[in-house]
């Protein structure tokens, strides 16, 4: 039987996926309470086992920091939305740093697979790969022309987080 943190992570990521697909954003009322609840649940469950509640809460907070670091940098660069960052931070609070990072990795893999499939289905894969190469070249060379904003592609990340959390929960992750 699953403990409360993985169930909460799965439920929250499912709700986030639904709202992200429907509205295009992940609401604060869904993610921010989990940043408080995650460490509290970790402390409570550690105390039940006779372990250090303070240490368990600290590990949960470490999960928040670690799981939000790369998404925050992507957010600052314009490559990710704030709700996605907060959702991944909440997953880190609930699952801890190790399983949270694993869920994050699976989320990025799921997003990449979906994006490649969507582009191939719409006949855009080669054009997007070319623009991606041009973006990568701009990081090294300044004489490469910029990609026009209207040619940039975006996608909803909430469903990918749900997939990533689902994989971790099915594989037995979580405290």
pLDDT digits (tens, 9 = 90+) for 113-124: 998 888 888 888
Entry pTM: 0.85
Spell 87-104 as b/e; 16+ CB within 10 A means b. bbbbbbbbbbbbbbbbbb
pLDDT at 45: 93
Residue 175 in this model has a pLDDT that exceeds 60: no
Residue 18 has pLDDT above 80, yes or no: yes
Ranked by mean pLDDT, the top range of 33-37, 112-116, 135-139 is 33-37
Distances (CA, A) of 67 to 61, 72, 135, 150: 10, 9, 26, 31
Rg value, the chain, Cα: 18
Average pLDDT over residues 130-142: 75
Mean pLDDT throughout 101-108? Answer: 97
Helix (H) / strand (E) element for 31: namely: helix 28-49
Give the pLDDT band (50/70/90) at residue 152.
low
- Predicted local distance difference test score (pLDDT) of residue 130: 82
């Amino acid at each position: 039987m699953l403990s409360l943190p993985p169930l909460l992570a799965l439920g929250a990521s499912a709700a986030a996926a639904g709202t992200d697909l429907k509205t295009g954003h992940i609401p604060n009322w869904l993610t921010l309470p989990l940043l408080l609840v995650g460490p509290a649940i970790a402390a409570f469950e550690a105390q039940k086992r006779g372990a250090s509640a303070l240490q368990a809460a600290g590990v949960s907070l470490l999960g928040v920091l670690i799981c939000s670091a790369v998404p925050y940098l992507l957010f600052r660069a314009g490559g990710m939305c704030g709700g996605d960052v907060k959702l991944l931070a909440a997953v880190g609070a609930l699952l801890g740093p190790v399983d949270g990072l694993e869920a994050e990795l699976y989320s990025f893999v799921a997003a990449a697979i979906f994006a490649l499939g969507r582009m191939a289905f719409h006949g855009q894969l080669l054009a997007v790969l070319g623009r991606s190469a041009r973006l990568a070249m701009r990081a090294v060379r300044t004489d490469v022309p910029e990609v026009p904003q209207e040619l940039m592609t975006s996608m909803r990340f909430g469903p990918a987080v749900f997939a990533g959390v689902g994989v971790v929960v099915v594989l037995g992750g979580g405290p």
